[in-house]
Chain A
Amino acid sequence: MFRLPIEKLDDLFAAVAAAQTLYLPADGKDGRASYVKWEEGVKLSKALNTVRSAKDHFFPQTTNLCDFNMNGKNIEIIDNRQESENFVIFGVRACDARSFTILDKVFLAEPVDTYYATRREHGTVITLACTEPEENCFCSVFGIDAASPEGDAACHITEDALYINANTEKGEKFIESVKDMLTECGTEAVDAQKAQTAEIMKKLPFANVSTDYFRKNTLLDIFNSEHWKKLSEACLGCGTCTFVCPTCQCYDIKDFDTGHGIKRYRTWDSCMYSDFTKMAAANSRNSQVERFRQRFMHKLVYFPDNNNGEFGCVGCGRCLSRCPISMNIIKVIKTFGEE
């Protein structure tokens, strides 16, 4: 474990940014945090989390896949991929850090998504432990410890210092690169903070929410449940929950005619939309009940079934605070759990 006096924090950012691009959460004009590129003057946000998740760095909302050019009857395919630059994301919370493992299972399984893989290779994730979890947090439900986040290296910020510890080789390399600013130290301060956070975590309103129902019941029982109709009644069919979600990974591939060629790009899609997975013949899910059910079945049933029981949710609470009509995964889990 290494220590950096808190007043040296900006110097650390400057040193990192000198070598590679550094992204960290900073407060916008409206007081809401989002990841921005660090430059002189940018301050690390004190907000618990960003509105948009950290998945943007590896799986951006739109990715240009390739371009086409038509020359007479010939189609020329232009691979416009550029070698990705190395970058560091600082201040990722435990929930978002776990979301990368979930995304990895989708994108790094065969066939490997090379766009995602390249970004993943070039990115170093530096996580930051939570000290003031909020009412919407329920990461502990999915076995995540907000006080000891995963990631390449994990940080803890106390009143007077930043503590950093490497979890992976990449993390060690990162610490090596700024080693002259750090001093080696013991784990006492960090342990104390962890204990304090654990106390708060126990008091969170959703600390004892149980997902057992989805383990004990069969896929078909849950699928055919009467609850879905009632739960989805007010759903507007917007994509807010899916777009702020750190683990939602569905996308659509589209072509844009620029007038002098074609740009093929992929863009986030949302299972809440009426034309999601629309095929030539028809649409597989025609009503909002079915679309709504799809989202939660995916996170709570299909994904764990295919991934050794790991749920497709990390409990970051973004959908809880952002849904226009306040319908969310916690209400779904609770409704089923009460059965």
Chain B
Amino acid sequence: MQVNETKGFRPKIVAFCCNWCSYAGADLAGTNRINYPADVKIIRVPCSCRVNPMFILRAFQRGADGVIMCGCHPGDCHYTSGNYFARRRMTLLFSMLDYMGIEKERTRVEWVSAAEGAKFAATMNEFVETVTKLGENKRLEDLRCKKQ
């Protein structure tokens, strides 16, 4: 991980990572000393299917500027089919967020296996860059949670 000292806007990114693939992928990125921004806060979940739509909204409420969900590649789920259900759910939820006018670039799903440390880092680098360009999350913010 790198500590970014440049001033200016740094986005807050929440990444939901499944325990079996993506979290291990993140770990691999770390042990291989591949850089990805410190703006990404990882939340480990047992399976991508554990991610309730409410989690995504809560992340935005508490100040996230972008939310990314990572799970095992379709077919590789530790619980056989969890990520297939998650795939349908997130497709519909993100489509709805887009429909309500929340920038679609703020949400993403990526499949990252335990062996793909480099992919994890690359995905995060690219996602952070996209969200940084978008700027602060204004359309799905909770003003009460912003520090004055």
Q: Which residues of A contact B (CB under 8 A)?
A: 256, 258-260, 263
Contacts and interface: CB of A to CB of B under 8 A. Distances in A.
Contacts of A256: 144
Contact of A263 (B62, B63, B144): B144
Interface residues of B, number: 5
B132 to A, nearest CB: 22
B103 to A, nearest CB: 23
Contacts of A260: 145, 147
Chain B's interface: helix, strand, loop or mixed, by majority?
loop
Central interface residue in B62, B63, B144, by most chain A CB within 10 Å: B144
Contacts of A258: 144-145
Contacts of B62: 259
Interface of B: 62-63, 144-145, 147
Nearest to B142: A258
A260 B142 CA distance: 13
A259 B62 CA distance: 8
9 contacts: A256-B144, A258-B144, A258-B145, A259-B62, A259-B63, A259-B145, A260-B145, A260-B147, A263-B144
A324 B144 CA distance: 33
B6 to A, nearest CB: 25
Nearest to A263: B144
Contacts of B144: 256, 258, 263
Given A258-B144, A260-B147, 7 more contacts: A256-B144, A258-B145, A259-B62, A259-B63, A259-B145, A260-B145, A263-B144
A258 B63 CA distance: 10
A256 B145 CA distance: 9
Central interface residue in A256, A259, A260, by most chain B CB within 10 Å: A259
A263 B145 CA distance: 10
Central interface residue in B62, B63, B145, B147, by most chain A CB within 10 Å: B145
